[in-house]
Chain A
Amino acid sequence: ILNVEQSPQSLHVQEGDSTNFTCSFPSSNFYALHWYRWETAKSPEALFVMTLNGDEKKKGRISATLNTKEGYSYLYIKGSQPEDSATYLCADADRGSTLGRLYFGRGTQLTVWP
């Protein structure tokens, strides 16, 4: 079992604010780190899959960085909009298996107020 921690648990920001949150994971034998976006009453959708130390991925106003040596990833949202309100999950890939099992954190719940 991998220990994946996310912080903060919840975040409230005003429209237009930029924000970031953290995912930490064990640094040894790293395989991959996934970020998912989960809107209320919907199902999780993949944002990024990150595999290399120093990786930086971007999708519109959302970007993520990865530090495998110290075991953390940051997710950034630039100029938050109300439609960004969702729970953002990170997941660490199982190191003992090649078959794609993920260990999910509890998520950061983001609320963007207009």
Chain B
Amino acid sequence: DAGVIQSPRHEVTEMGQEVTLRCKPISGHNSLFWYRQTMMRGLELLIYFNNNVPIDDSGMPEDRFSAKMPNASFSTLKIQPSEPRDSAVYFCASSPRRPGGRAAYNEQFFGPGTRLTVL
């Protein structure tokens, strides 16, 4: 299994540009999470999906951030327009749902992250 795949691994862009981060979860996993890691706030959840449906986007910092999951094998996180304070590492994670158990019991599998720098 290839694990969670994220692209690009590094992105450098200028303020005001649109940025799109991509994630392919592990096949068969039905929950997908987008996190942002910063020195100030640690690992914070931005949004998560269950069976491709957004469940909670309260962590999305502003309307400049949007996320989609058009199918079970692909998700995007878009920032438009980007600002220097958006510079961070963005992680995608997926989690399986095992029959008969609570989703809380299932570990999350993290992708390698995308390091975003907005100049």
Contact = CB atoms under 8 A, between A and B. Distances in A.
Contacts of A89: 43
B109 interface: yes
Nearest to A100: B103
Please classify the interface of chain A as helix (H, G, I), strand (E, B), loop, or mixed, using the class held by over half of its residues.
loop
Sorting the interface of chain A by its residue count into under 10, 10 to 19, 20 to 34 or 35 or more gives: 20 to 34
Contact of B102 (A34, A98, A103): A98
Contacts of A105: 42
A104 B43 contact: yes
A93 B101 CA distance: 14
B104 A94 contact: yes
A22 interface: no
Interface string A9-38: 000000000000000000000011010000
Interface of A: 31-32, 34, 42-46, 49, 51, 89, 93-94, 97-107
